[in-house]
Amino acid sequence: MSARHLLFSYGTLQLREVQLDTFGHVVESDEDVLPGYTADYAEIDDDRVPGSPRHHILPVVRATGDPRDKVTGVVLHVTEAEMDAADEFEMARYRRVSATLGTGRTAWVYVTA
């Protein structure tokens, strides 16, 4: 059995169309929060989001260290291969870090590069 990873998503990877395009299916997920981070927005020139214009505004998160700050999202339960596919989709814009979620679980999250 393939190793499972937890991946916190606050943006496009939550979208059904993006999951189908990136992973080939919709992955199991559940809601959680990312404390100590805040969301900003950045203009992105990218045509990989189905149904979106090439140039659009996407959320990005950055660490603040303040536990009162939090970002809401979902935790995606992904395999090693799906994690690699998510990296390919996200790593041009972000970097992946490990973070503790509101539920106490540790998950990967893409943060501003």
- List pLDDT tens digits, range 55-106: 567 778 999 999 999 999 999 999 999 999 999 988 777 899 999 999 999 9
Name the token pair of 108. Answer: 């990967």
Burial class (CB in 10 A: 0-12, 13-18, 19+), 111: middle
Structural domain harbouring 63: 4-112
pTM of the entire structure? Answer: 0.85
Above 70 in pLDDT, residue 48?
no
Query: Any idea which residue has 């090693």 for tokens?
Result: 80
For 33-47, the pLDDT digits (tens) are 999 999 988 776 655
Q: How many domains does the chain have?
A: 1
CATH (domain of 59): 3.10.490.10
